Amino acid sequence: MKQIEAITFDLFGTIFDLKSTLIDSITNYLSIKRVSNTKLTPDSFWAIWRERQRIEQFQDSLLMAGHSGYLETAKKALLYTLRYYSISFTDSEVNMIMDEWQNLKMFPDVISELPKLHSLYKLVVLSNGDKWFLDHLVKDCINFEFDAVISVDDVGFFKPHPSVYHDASKQIQIEPQYILMVSSNRFDITGARSAGYQAALVDRYHLPKDESIFQPNIIVEDFNELSKSLGL
């Protein structure tokens, strides 16, 4: 790894534990609906929802039909998942579930390590989230002062589109090779490395290695190990 000057962080699934935040509302909703599908569990519902959201984002970027935004893709994916399991729903019920995104929980290893990392590096949020949504999350859910908070709204494409990483490099005025992208999403690692970044995979989900030629420089279990790997 080359000398690092800045660290860019993914939020969803890396800093924020989406599943632990949303699983209770999913469980409660399925209980209210009294769904009889034996293959349906809160975990399986979440898996389909999360997978479909990524598809919605990739389609959004590939078709170039206009950037719809993170929460909009999450909502579309939720509607898909409800229909996938043949669950009836109302607009108010969908809005109730979506409201939980406003109160995301962090992984417990994150907050203690950010000040350590900030002692040596510029720290930047680089996220697929809507700009207003990121501002809310950083202020009300993380409560940490990053050097910059950058949304893909600025370029109109979701990660891993290369324009996201190039634009972030320009915004913080640091060349890509001196930026470390930290993410638990392999597509994010692929995108960052293809744009010239260094990358650290936070292997929270222990998923298999993919066949991309763009692999992480380092793989760590959590933010504690990330700090140690950077000599802190």
pLDDT of res. 34: 80
Q: How far apart are CA 96 and CA 29, in angstroms?
A: 10
| Tokens (6 digits) for 35 | 């769904």
pLDDT of res. 33: 86
Q: How far apart are CA 25 and CA 22, in angstroms?
A: 6
Q: Structure pTM?
A: 0.95
Q: How far apart are CA 96 and CA 215, in angstroms?
A: 39
pLDDT of res. 220: 98
Q: How far apart are CA 113 and CA 210, in angstroms?
A: 28
pLDDT of res. 131: 98
Mean pLDDT by runs of 10 across the 232 residues of the chain is: 93 98 94 81 97 96 91 98 95 96 97 96 98 98 97 97 98 98 98 98 95 97 97 92
Q: How far apart are CA 156 and CA 220, in angstroms?
A: 30
Say if residues 46 and 54 touch (Cβ distance below 8 Å).
Answer: no
Q: Under DSSP, is residue 179 helix (H, G, I), strand (E, B) or coil? A: strand
Which strands form 122-127's sheet, in the order they lie side by side?
148-151, 122-127, 6-9, 179-183, 198-202, 218-220
Task: Give Cβ neighbours of residue 45 (< 8 Å, ≥ 6 apart).
Answer: 26, 30, 81, 85
pLDDT of res. 1: 72
CA angle 150, 65, 136 (to 5 degrees): 30
Tens of pLDDT, residues 98-129:
999 999 999 999 999 999 999 999 999 999 99
CA angle 170, 138, 23 (to 5 degrees): 120
